Structure 1
Amino acid sequence: MNLGRVLVIATNVFREVIRDRILYLVGLYAVLLFLAGRFLVDIAGSTEDKMLLDLGLAAISIVGLVIAVFIGTGLVNKEIEKRTVYVLISKPVSRLEFIVGKHLGLSAMLAVLIAAMTVIYFAILAIFLFRTPTPYASIIVSSIFQFIELSLITAVAILFGVFTSPLLATLLTFGVYLMGQSSRDLLQLGAISESSGFQRITEVMYVLLPDLSRLNLKNQAIYGMELMPSGLELTASAIYALVYISLLLAISTFIFARRQF
């Protein structure tokens, strides 16, 4: 795999997403969060700090998820529909370089988006919660893992986008996200079930589905570093996500290489 060609593809994806005016969502996020802060000052009372902390982190996650799913599922299909894929694969660009470049480009865009929204989030917290101790360190850790989670979802979106229509790929990716958030609950449900068949099904689903709950640190972040997982656990979760992303991209490449254009 040629890193230079991968970076060229990633840069093109990054620029295309910028041209789609995705960064306008950052401005919308800032306005809505500021208005929410003003509103919570009047009605929330003593719970204003926790509500604003929850709302800001949840909004970052939702905006990032929408972009990862709707853009990620169309990254490959758009090239096929525009027939630009014929030009790309006729050049010395391997299918692996194509898929990895697409993923890196959108992941880089998500990193910029999350960083920008986190800075705005801190600014809003400084305005409305200037008298309240704010867990900045844990929020930064949570934002980093939000990016890792969204990068994984981007890989899922690309996988489905390689062999299905954008609409079906979008629905499947949202389904994986929702089930991935509750995969541990499914495993526990199977453990207490009296049906051995259902228990095996939940165990298989837990293995196959990404365990996104280990990357979701929003609830712990608002209470500070004391409730965050240890450094070893965080490292293990990050490695888990990277391995999962690599497997998804490898499967995407395998399927894409067998498509006839």
Structure 2
Amino acid sequence: MNLGRVYVMATNVFREVIRDRILYIIGFYALLMVVVMLLLPQIAATTEDKIFLDFGLAAMSILGLIVAVFVGTGLVSKEIEKRTVLVLIAKPISRAEFIVAKHLGLVSVLALLVTAMTIIYLALLQFQGIAYPLGSILLAAFYLFLQLSLITAVALALGVFTSSVLATLLTFAVYLLGNFSQDLVNLGRISKSPGFERLTQGLYLILPDLSRLDLKNQAVYGAELLPDPLTLLANAGYGVFYTVLLLAIAILVFLRREF
């Protein structure tokens, strides 16, 4: 794999996504947070600080997810549907480089979005005089980025062999099931149905456990709720490993596709 070609293509993907007015999301996030900041004292006078803390991280997660899913599923599938992929693979660019560059390009955009939204979030917290655990919030933002990187890999892998619409629906399904995969296992255990229990265990083994990369509640309700450093490191490694695995699957499928 030629890193120079990957870098050039990833940069082009970054510019292309930015050109699609994705950065408007940062302005929307800022406007949304200001509106919530003004409305909260009227509807939740006693708990407005906690709600604002929670809402800021949740909005960051949802907006990042929308970009990862809708842009990620179209990065490859639209190239295939429009047949522009034929021009790209005719150049001295391997299919593996094509997939990796697409992922790195979008992940760079997501890193920019998460960073900008985190800065806006912290600035508004400071402006409001709300006490907040800086270290926990920064850690939660970093793990949100890891989660979005993984979801982008899911979107790319699904976009390689299906339409962008179906890939979008399936990626959202993976996201929802991935966040509740541990609950599914517990549900299977208490169901007293061997078949259903095997199904839930199978889903848990196949689907990414996204709850490992979700630290929003711990960031809001106390740093003492955060996992120990070894667990945090293991969870980060899990996210990176699963992302690489999904990209490898996407590359394998893409190599076998005929155009």
TM-score range, shorter chain: over 0.9
| 2:159 pairs with one of 146, 158, 161 | 161
**Structure 1 match to 2:18:** 18
- C-alpha distance in structure 2 between counterparts of 1:61 and 1:175, whole Å: 16
Write the letter of the residue equivalent to 1:13. Answer: V
- How many residues end up aligned between the 2 structures? 259
Query: 1:137, CA displacement in angstroms?
Result: 1.1
**Structure 2 match to 1:87:** 87
- Deviations, residues 197-219 of structure 1 (Å, cap 9, x unaligned): 21111111100000001111101
Write the letter of the residue equivalent to 1:153. Answer: I
Structure 1: which 5+ runs fail to align? Answer: none
Write the letter of the residue equivalent to 1:174. Answer: F
- C-alpha distance in structure 2 between counterparts of 1:127 and 1:38, whole Å: 12
Structure 2: which 5+ runs fail to align? Answer: none
- C-alpha distance in structure 2 between counterparts of 1:201 and 1:157, whole Å: 23
- C-alpha distance in structure 2 between counterparts of 1:202 and 1:78, whole Å: 33
- C-alpha distance in structure 2 between counterparts of 1:6 and 1:40, whole Å: 46
- C-alpha distance in structure 2 between counterparts of 1:95 and 1:238, whole Å: 27
Is the Cα contact below 8 Å between 2:76 and 2:159 reproduced in 1?
yes
**Structure 2 match to 1:47:** 47
Within a 5 Å distance, the mapping from 1:147-186 to structure 2 comes to 147-186=145-184
Within a 5 Å distance, the mapping from 1:201-212 to structure 2 comes to 201-212=199-210
**1:63 paired to 2:56:** no
Q: Secondary structure at the match of 2:47?
A: helix
Is the Cα contact below 8 Å between 2:125 and 2:131 reproduced in 1?
no
- C-alpha distance in structure 2 between counterparts of 1:156 and 1:90, whole Å: 26
- Deviations, residues 78-131 of structure 1 (Å, cap 9, x unaligned): 222343312221122111111011001101100000000000001111112x1x
The runs of at least 4 consecutive aligned structure 1 residues that moved more than 2 Å come to 80-84
**Percent identity at matched positions?**
61
Write the letter of the residue equivalent to 2:88. Answer: L
Write the letter of the residue equivalent to 1:85. Answer: V
TM-score under structure 1 length normalisation: 0.97
Write the letter of the residue equivalent to 1:16. Answer: E
Q: Secondary structure at the match of 1:210?
A: coil
Over aligned residues, Cα RMSD in angstroms? 1.0
